[in-house]
Amino acid sequence: MATAFGVFTGILTVIGFIQSNTPDRPNQYETKFRIHVALDNPHNGPSNAGGDAPDIRVWNQAGQFLGGTYDPGRVSSGSFRDVTVRLSQPHQPTYALFTGNDDAICIAYITNSWADGQKYAWVGNWADSSSCRQSWYYSNIVLDGKSLNCAWIDRNGDLPKTAFQTHIHEFADVSANQGKGVSYYCGNNPSLKWYEHWEPNSISYWVTPRKRGVVEGGGPWARDAEDAQTAVAVGPVKPGSENRKKLSGARPAFNETRLVRSSRPEHSAVTLCESDSSAGPDLVSLHEGKFCDMKTREILPLCDGPGVASGDCFDDSIASLRVRGGARLSGRDVAVDTKEYSEVLEWGA
């Protein structure tokens, strides 16, 4: 099993590679984000029309709201969308809040360009079972030999997380983050914080040590927080969102109808099924020779795998569970529980 430090350094190494995949340099009254999506909402069907890119709000280091972009448009699986946020003042947008819209998306990475030339990145690996244990899945996005996982967000309740915030320059590289590991970044603090309520429009932010408990320069959007080391900064409510139906009661099941067939060794069916926070399509791991049923969390061997002569298995050729041999089936292989997949996604080299 990977150590916490190994996971941490691996994620930041991936971030270093991604920094070359950033939007163009903005002017001093803008900041630009690239949102790269690994998977979109399964309810969009086989047409793969895409999911909704998140709303983005940004604040400066003192918790002052600088600007927001809402409903930036659609983005399909494996694609990205560049989003520009207009700033009220030419300040560094060190905090960003990414809020899901109606169609769920699984974000593989986000990159951010500032007017002064600085570039930053965040990757969906921070959500997986080896780090922060949020809703996650694999992706088919590989940069410089590094595979990315993705983080799900959604507004309408199909998935538990509706938004997350980043203090994005804290995700720079290993040398700039000595003494900070997975437990720090996954502590649900201002560096990386996840939300579950409807349309969040506020963030937590760090208060400098000499001013702990006192919020200065925060403007009309800031207020004191109970924690002496942090404060809460509030942004505007999204136009029209107060008229939308809010989350209430039991949430609907995340009903995936796609199948992923992957030849990549890092796409483990065992890891996916055993994670209590993974969400997404069933997976055939050709490298492992195993199948993960995401609904039942059952792991089965592939029927054509070595040494699979009897017992339940998954027939990859017809996408169905098979019960092999035995007196109860008169020596015949019988296919049962045939899966109805709307689409088969082929991932790998």
Average pLDDT over residues 328-336: 45
Looking up tokens 């590989």, which residue turns up? 142
Q: Which stretches does DSSP call E strand in 114-247?
A: 119-123, 136-143, 146-153, 163-167, 192-195, 202-206, 222-223, 230-234
DSSP string, 88-113: SSS----EEEEE--SS-EEEEEEEEE
CA separation for the pair 242, 201 (Å, rounded): 12
| Cβ proximity of 122 and 150 under 8 Å | no
Helix (H, G, I), strand (E, B) or coil at 334: strand
Average pLDDT over residues 158-182: 80
Burial of 46 by CB count in 10 Å (0-12 exposed, 13-18 middle, 19+ buried)? exposed
Looking up tokens 């900041």, which residue turns up? 31
- Side-chain half-sphere of 122: how many Cα atoms within 13 Å? 27
Among candidates 123, 261, 274, 255, which has minimal Cα distance to 185? 123
Q: Tell me the two tokens of residue 237.
A: 């409510």
Task: Answer whether residue 212 shows pLDDT above 60.
Answer: no
145: left (phi over 0), alpha (psi -120 to 50) or beta: left
Q: Tell me the two tokens of residue 245.
A: 């139906």
| Cβ proximity of 277 and 291 under 8 Å | no
Confidence at residue 225, expressed as pLDDT on a 0 to 100 scale: 38
User: Would you place residue 317 in the very low, low, confident or very high pLDDT band (cuts 50, 70, 90)?
Assistant: confident
Confidence at residue 178, expressed as pLDDT on a 0 to 100 scale: 62
DSSP string, 231-284: EEEE-PPPTTGGGSPPP-SSPPP----EEEEE--TT--HHHHHH-SSB-SSEEE
> With the C-alpha atoms ordered 84, 87, 91, 95, is the resulting torsion angle positive or negative?
negative
User: Would you place residue 331 in the very low, low, confident or very high pLDDT band (cuts 50, 70, 90)?
Assistant: very low
Q: Are strands 80-86 and 222-223 parallel, antiparallel or unpaired?
A: unpaired
Average pLDDT, the chain: 81
Task: Answer whether residue 106 shows pLDDT above 60.
Answer: yes
Least confident of 121-130, 251-260, 300-309: 251-260
- Side-chain half-sphere of 256: how many Cα atoms within 13 Å? 21
Quick count: other Cβ atoms within 10 Å of Cβ 163? 24
Looking up tokens 């529980």, which residue turns up? 337
Percent of the chain at pLDDT above 90?
50
pTM attached to this predicted model: 0.84
Q: Which residue has the higher pLDDT, 159 or 297?
A: 297
Please give the single-letter amino acid code of residue 341: Y
User: Would you place residue 214 in the very low, low, confident or very high pLDDT band (cuts 50, 70, 90)?
Assistant: very low
User: pLDDT per residue over 186-206, tens digit each?
Assistant: 999 999 999 998 889 999 999
Looking up tokens 């169609």, which residue turns up? 103
307: left (phi over 0), alpha (psi -120 to 50) or beta: left
Task: Give, rounded to a whole angstrom, the gap between the first and last alpha carbons of the chain.
Answer: 25
Q: Which residue has the higher pLDDT, 304 or 86?
A: 86
Number of H helices, E strands in the chain: 3, 24
Strand partners, 182: none
